[in-house]
A and B are shown apart, each in its own frame.
Chain A
Amino acid sequence: AQKVTQAQTEISVVEKEDVTLDCVYETRDTTYYLFWYKQPPSGELVFLIRRNSFDEQNEISGRYSWNFQKSTSSFNFTITASQVVDSAVYFCALTPDGVFGNEKLTFGTGTRLTIIP
C-alpha cells in the first residue's frame, strides 16, 4: 500500500518570504517516482517535477527547489522569494516504478498556499 502525507493543510506567507511544503510518503516498493503538482485557482493540474527513487540529489529550478531524503521518506518543496502567483494548492504524489510505468498515482491531500501581497 502506498500513502502520501501532506500534514500542512494551509500555509500563508507574506510575499518574498521563503516557504517549504512538506511531503512524507510510505511505500513498500524499492523503486518509485515522486511528483509535485500545482493546482492554481483556475483548477488545472500543472506538473512541476518527477523524481526517481534512485536519484536523491536535490534539484533547483529557478525559485523552486526540492529536497529528497530517502532515509526519512520525505520529498519537500521549497519556494524561495515567494510571489502572489505561487498561490495555489500543491500536491505531492507517488507511483511505483512498476511494469506499467507511471501507474496509479497516489496523491496527498494537498497544501493550500496563500501568498499575501
Chain B
Amino acid sequence: DAGVIQSPRHEVTEMGQEVTLRCKPISGHDYLFWYRQTMMRGLELLIYFNNNVPIDDSGMPEDRFSAKMPNASFSTLKIQPSEPRDSAVYFCASSLKGVEEGFGQGTRLTVV
C-alpha cells in the first residue's frame, strides 16, 4: 500500500510569497492531519479533517495559514504571505478510526 504522499519534499521561497503544500492520504482513511515541526515548539497539530470537513483548526497559527480538502484523496496547506518564522517541517498524516496514523515524509519549508 502507498503511504501518505507529500509534495514537495523541500521548498525554498522568499518572504512574502505564497506557498502551497500538498498531501495525498492513504486510500480509505477518513481523517487527515497537518502538523508542523520546529525546534522550538516540537510537533504541533495545525488542523485536521474528517471526511473532508475541517474539524479543528485551532492550531492554525494565523490567518495567513489555510487548509483545504476538496476530496478524499487530496489536501493542501497554504501560507500566504509566507514569513521566515514559518520555516519548519510540515507533516501530513492520515488515519482511520482505530488505526494508527500514517505520516508522510514531510515538506521542509525554508522562507528566506
Contacts and interface: CB of A to CB of B under 8 A. Distances in A.
Contacts of B96: 101
Nearest to A100: B50
Nearest to A52: B98
A96 interface: no
Interface stretch (A15-23, A43-51, A55-63): A43-51
Interface in A84-102: 91, 100-102
A107 B103 contact: no
Contacts of A91: 43
B91 A45 contact: yes
At the interface, is chain B mostly helix, strand, loop or mixed?
Answer: strand
B98 to A, nearest CB: 6
B37 to A, nearest CB: 9
B60 interface: no
B112 interface: no
Nearest to B43: A107
Interface of B: 31, 33, 42-43, 45, 48, 50, 55-56, 89, 91, 93, 95-106, 108
11 contacts: A45-B93, A45-B103, A100-B31, A100-B55, A102-B97, A102-B99, A103-B48, A104-B45, A104-B48, A105-B45, A106-B45
